[in-house]
Amino acid sequence: MDNHNIVTKKVKDFVAYLTLNRPEHSNSLNRAILLALRHELETVAFDDSVRVVVLTGAGEKAFCAGIDLKERAAMPKDKILASREEVIKPVFTTLARFPKPVIAAVNGVAFGGGAEVALACDIRIASSKARFAQAEIRWGMIPACGACQRLRMIVGMGRAKEIIFTGRVIDADEGLALGIYNQVVQPENLMAEAEKLALDIAKNSPVAVKQAKKALDIGAHISESLDFEFEASKECYFAGEALTGPEKF
């Protein structure tokens, strides 16, 4: 696929619709899609014709299956660590600090880094086919882009530890009960419901919405914790167990 279209954008009625567009790879996060997503976010952040963003994945199978492990497995360790610092971390920082509301329309699996993309959004609406997992632990890693902090704030410390320590898959109904999702709808209604919510937000004062988001996010006080989480994940690489797969353990 042409990397120029690896993240697509449509703007209508003050809403920008961004789509991760690697359906043949379950919209997994390779270098190209990460750079494209950051570019589109930085562009719409300063676009006055956009007040709300809806982020989704192409196809019916996946919202985002996480980091592209095939690409990463082919990289030497020093390149992996450099990519994490120079590409991955800046994208998640841009998304988490985005000045306008971002709604994740979770249309399928959201695993690993894909789950963290969803968690970094302000609101999550899921298809009944959605599946959520912080499965990094099964690959000798830990979530490194905010899940250790954001998930515990959403579901509570005990449940967050269970989800991260086991790497188990959570279906849409359980995700709704836990508070991971704000709504669960039928697959054919997902984008319509996301659009409805986005338009409901967009009709309000953009200044007031931005300030409300800022006040809510600042109240979380997690920037230092996020930095520690990212640094802690490096130990998995230094230990030599990262990406070895479940069979090693």
Do 1 and 22 form a contact (C-beta atoms < 8 A)?
A: yes
DSSP string, 35-77: HHHHHHHHHHHT-TT-SEEEEEESSSSEEE--B-HHHHHTS-H
Do 36 and 44 form a contact (C-beta atoms < 8 A)?
A: no
Q: How far is CA 87 from CA 29, 38, 39, 42, in A?
A: 11, 9, 11, 14
Active site residues: 116, 136
Nearest to 102 by CA among 220, 234, 238, 213: 213
SS3 of residue 12 by DSSP: strand
Dihedral sign for Cα 115, 116, 119, 125, please.
negative
Dihedral sign for Cα 199, 203, 206, 208, please.
negative
